[in-house]
Chains A and B, each alone.
Chain A
Amino acid sequence: MALKSGLQMDESALIRAAQDGDHAAFEQLVRAYDQSVLRLAMNLLRSPEDANDVYQEAFLRVYRNLHSFRFDCSFHTWLYRIVTNLCLDQMRKRKVRKEEPTVLATAEGPLDRMDAVPEERVDGDPQRHLFSGQVRRRIREVLGELTPRERMVFELRHYQGLRLRRIGEVLGTTEEAAKNCLFRATQKMRAALGDFI
């Protein structure tokens, strides 16, 4: 497609300019991807502070290592390798610490910070309201039970819309392995959520 190759050319030009020390070009690169990076980190980590940490570290690593980017994969893939590694590290640390920073202990029991935020999409529909409470909590639990890798594959496929082949590239594995991972994740979730949905 002409348009797509045009965009790609623009991006390679941007990358080359940034590699040559053009800060404005680097900024454009950041702006092209930072919203989806932040969305990824926020959705996985559910903590603005942690998401910001990942954002900072990811783009600093890009900045420091851009000179070694050789165009043997897309910039998007390269960036996502960095970001997913940072997120996986963070998720694994949490697993070890058994820490769930989105859950606040309150007098009435644990409270999900995300649940505490009023649902924007609640439009007085009691059915919908019920969803934002119970089901949301259940989904969080189930996602928490996935392995970091399963969680990541699910995130990349469901929320980021990446194809499994790309996910394999990002995570340094095969499409088949990514597919198995997604399969396991969805099986677990269907088993856990079947009664709720």
Chain B
Amino acid sequence: MKDCKAVREQLALLLYGELSFDEEERIESHLDACVDCRAALKREKELHAAFDQYEATPSPSLLRDCREDLAIRLMEEAAVPRPAHDGWWDRLIDALTWRPTGALMRPVGALTLMAIGFGAARMLPASLSANAQFAGLVPGAARVRYVEPASDGKIQIVLDETRQRIVSGRLDDQQIKTLLLTAAKDPSDPGLRAETVDILNTRAQSADVRDALIYSVQRDQNAGVRMKALDGLKPYAQEPEVRAALTQVLLKDSNPGLRTQAIDLLTKGSSVDRQVIGTLQELMLRGEQQGYVRERCRRVLEAMNASLETY
């Protein structure tokens, strides 16, 4: 049939539904009459199906990587206003060629924070930058891997990110502090938490650092970390919120060493407040199981001339 060639050329557009009403009519009526063109249409459909099979679907991990990268880019973008002519590729090159070694080698001065790695990022401090809203783009864009104090008073923080990054600043820098406070709660790495708590201990005069230590001493899964946090809180054992934390340690911690220290700290000084006495009495009443703790309680209460039962 003389129309066959013209019809076959239009089959793809027919399948895509991109023919005009009239064109479609003409082809449909030809197909009704022409068995060869119907076969050609069938092959055209198979061709389409083959194309469907060829489609590359991005993996979920690629999507996640893209989102994480973008969150970081956007934070950088918003944090550092750049002139319009400074192209993205320039910055990409900057980012790719920038290596942490330079900052690591930097001499004495402030704190240096180093960021390495990539990862199943979990935690991005909400105030890491002024633009941390972008952190919402990803489940988490950065995670503190480990921290390291240097003799000069600097601190290095290693961040897990989609790419290496160094954050540098003094401990009184809010961004640095925020990273440290985040690292102190990193659930995946007790070593990191211990190192971080060591650093935070030197700054326990600041209330938010103390809050972090209080959090650690009560909530950290690792007794070693709790012990370190307790060390940092020792000089502030008279502060009400520290005393409340120590009381919780005494009542709830499973580690006898920590609990004994808590008793010592709570009962240090000439006068022991009635609340502490009450706590000790409560422990005795509920039949304290840890012998050393029980003994310590008993001795303190005796020294206070307090009843072993009630006050």
Contact = CB atoms under 8 A, between A and B. Distances in A.
Contacts of B50: 131, 135, 139, 193, 196-197
A173 interface: no
Interface residues of B, number: 36
Interface of A: 23-24, 26-27, 30-31, 34-35, 38-39, 42-43, 46, 48, 51-53, 55-57, 59-61, 63-64, 114, 121, 131-132, 135-136, 139-140, 143, 157-159, 163-164, 179, 182-183, 186-187, 189-190, 193-194, 196-197
A55 B136 CA distance: 17
A197 B12 contact: no
A100 to B, nearest CB: 14
Interface of B: 9, 12-13, 16, 18, 43-44, 46-48, 50-51, 53-59, 62-63, 65-67, 69-70, 73-74, 77, 88, 92, 131, 133-134, 136-137
A140 to B, nearest CB: 7
A27 B136 contact: yes
A136 to B, nearest CB: 6
14 contacts: A24-B136, A27-B134, A34-B67, A43-B55, A48-B58, A51-B66, A56-B69, A59-B74, A60-B73, A132-B53, A135-B53, A136-B53, A158-B48, A197-B46
A56 B51 contact: no
Given A132-B53, A197-B43, A63 B66 contact: no
Report whether over half of chain B's contact residues are helix, strand or loop; otherwise say mixed. helix
B137 A27 contact: yes
B77 A60 contact: yes
B58 A131 contact: no
| Pairs of residues from A and B, 5 with the lowest C-beta to C-beta distance, nearest first | A23-B133, A186-B12, A42-B58, A55-B66, A139-B54
B56 A114 contact: yes
B282 to A, nearest CB: 47
Contacts of B58: 35, 38-39, 42, 48, 51
Contacts of B88: 56-57, 60-61
A132 B55 CA distance: 11
